[in-house]
Amino acid sequence: MNMAVMAKSQDVVVLLKWLCCLTAKSYADLASELGMSVGEVYSATQRVALAGLFDLESKRPRMNALREYLVHGVKYASQHKGVPPLAGCPLLTPRHSCGN
């Protein structure tokens, strides 16, 4: 059975947080740092892995796929009724950087 998985906007936040991790982190650590539940972080990580953007074994983003998604796909991630696209999000501008 082939089930479609719907990406959520928070998946990008979780993926970028994994990218910013300089040392190994647990789902609980990321959840605490992001103000999310462990279940939300785990589910987001599973979705981005299923999409080919994240390697579950190494717990690292797949850089080529991530770069392509950020450049060409993320602007379409939240185009739902009444929700502006992420392309206008100030956190996605070059002047912002990840911190630990």
Q: Which two tokens stand for residue 24?
A: 């190994």
Please tell me the predicted confidence (pLDDT) of residue 41. Answer: 96
**pLDDT band at 29; cut points 50, 70, 90:** very high
Please name every residue paired with 54 in a beta bridge, in sequence order, or none if there are none. Answer: 61
Cα–Cα distance list, 31 to 3, 5, 64, 90 (Å): 26, 21, 25, 22
Cα–Cα distance list, 88 to 28, 48, 75, 95 (Å): 30, 22, 8, 14
* Mean pLDDT in residue range 96-100: 47
Cβ atoms < 10 Å from Cβ of 92: 14
Please tell me the predicted confidence (pLDDT) of residue 26. Answer: 94
Selection from 23, 25, 28, 40 nearest residue 14 by Cα? 40
